[in-house]
Amino acid sequence: MDDAALVLFSGGQDSTVCLAWALGRYARVETIGFHYGQRHAVEMQCRTKVLHHLRTEFSQWAGKLGADTVLELDVIREVSESALTRDAEITMGANKLPTTFVPGRNLLFFTTAAALAYRRGIKVLVGGMCETDYSGYPDCRDDTLKALQVTLNLGLERRFVIETPLMWIDKAATWRLAEELGGKTLVQLIIEHTHSCYRGDRTERHAWGYGCGACPACELRARGYKRFRESGSEP
Ligand code: ZN
């Protein structure tokens, strides 16, 4: 199906905007999520809520939103020592990468997603990777994903296209894109129901949503939201 897309959907802000982006472009959109031994179950709870609200609050998208698949990729936890999968401090590692880096994660995610898309006859894979104001994760780089697209097409003998609509925009522009795609309703949905915080904290509600307010993911989200509002968008 040329008019179908499979979105890597985690329940976070970025993948929710990507999902809305895909719903605005393709006739049929499916989602895929992964359990990979995350320390916090909160993201997985959020993704169910986001899907529910997209179905009930956006009549133009409800009919396009198809199957959601959640897969176990526990092997990631078995082989990695990331602060996202172990009780470790979130800091900068000796390799100049944050300890939240999970080696191989996006490579495995896309490879698994491609295998599902192969079965379901879907050509387009969508991910929320971004190298504009990111944490330096090498598997979020445009070059990595372009190379992976070539690898998947050779290895599976298909013509997959990996779309990364957030690759060249910053966090403020991601909020703006959400507003363009789904208006204030989508911005509100993202604030209330998506999750970014590395610590899995949902005890405090800030203007930009729930989170500890101090981890790198919260700081990035809060800073982007502030700039988005300063650029003239009314709450
Ligand atoms: Zn946080």
Domains and CATH numbers, the chain: 4-230 (3.40.50.620)
Per-residue pLDDT tens digits for 183-195: 999 999 999 999 9
**Distance (Å) from CA 213 to ligand 1 centroid:** 5
Pairing of strands 28-35, 65-72: parallel
3-state secondary structure at position 13? helix
Residue 132: the pLDDT is 84
Quote the CA–CA distance of 116 and 165 in Å, as a whole number. 21
The C-alpha atoms of residue 108 and residue 73 are separated, in whole angstroms, by 9
Report pLDDT for 220: 92
If you measure from the C-alpha of residue 85 to the centroid of ligand 1, how many angstroms do you get, rounded to a whole number? 15
Residues with CB under 5 A from ligand 1 (ion): 197, 199, 211-212, 215, 218
Q: 201: CA distance to ligand 1 center in Å?
A: 6
| Residue 117 CA, ligand 1 centroid: distance in Å | 33
Total Cβ atoms within 10 A of residue 116: 16
pTM value is: 0.93
**Residue 97 confidence (pLDDT) above 80:** no
pLDDT in tens, 73-84: 888 877 777 766
Residue 116 confidence (pLDDT) above 80: yes
- Per-residue model confidence as pLDDT tens digits over 9-41: 999 999 999 999 999 999 999 999 998 877 677
| Tally of CB atoms within 10 A around 23 | 23
Sign of the dihedral defined by the CA atoms of residues 143, 22, 190, 196, in that order: negative
Amino acid letter for position 214: A
**113 CA to centre of ligand 1 in angstroms:** 28
- pLDDT greater than 70 at residue 1: no
Is pLDDT at 135 greater than 60 in this prediction? Answer: yes
- End-to-end CA gap in the chain: 38
**How far, in Å, is the centroid of ligand 1 from the Cα of 29?**
30
In the reported structure, the alpha carbon of residue 2 is separated from the centroid of ligand 1 by a whole-number distance in angstroms of 38
Which residue, among 228, 100, 127, 125, has the nearest Cα to 170 in the 3D structure? 228
